Structure 1
Amino acid sequence: MSTMIAELYDALREAGASEEKARAAAKTMADYDSRFSKIDQDLALIKAEIVVLKWMLGFLIGGMVSLIFKVFIAS
Structure 2
Amino acid sequence: MTTLQLEVFEAFRSIDVPEDKAAKAAAALSASLARVEDTADKGFSKRDADIDAIRKDVGSIMLDVVAIKGEQATVRWMLGFVLAGIVTLIFKAFLR
Matches within 5 A, 1:1-75: 5-73=5-73
Two-structure CA RMSD over aligned residues (Å): 2.1
CA displacement, residues 6-61 of structure 1 (integer Å, 9 cap, x when unaligned): 11101111211111111000000001111111121122112211221221011110
Task: Name which one, 1 or 2, has greater alpha-carbon Rg.
Answer: 2
- TM (norm. structure 2) is 0.64
Sequence identity (%): 18
SS in 2 for 1:5: helix
SS in 1 for 2:49: helix
Alpha-carbon distance in 2 for matches of 1:15, 1:68: 71
Deviation at 1:68, TM superposition (A): 2.9
Q: Structure 2 regions of 5+ residues with no counterpart?
A: 76-96
Count of residue pairs brought into register by the alignment: 74
Letter in 2 for 1:60: S
Higher relative contact order (CA 8 A, sep 6+): 1
Moved more, 64-73 or 12-21: 64-73
Deviation at 1:72, TM superposition (A): 4.6
Letter in 2 for 1:36: V
Q: Structure 1 regions of 5+ residues with no counterpart?
A: none
Alpha-carbon distance in 1 for matches of 2:73, 2:41: 48
SS in 2 for 1:59: helix
Alpha-carbon distance in 2 for matches of 1:43, 1:20: 35
| Residue 90 of structure 2: aligned partner | none
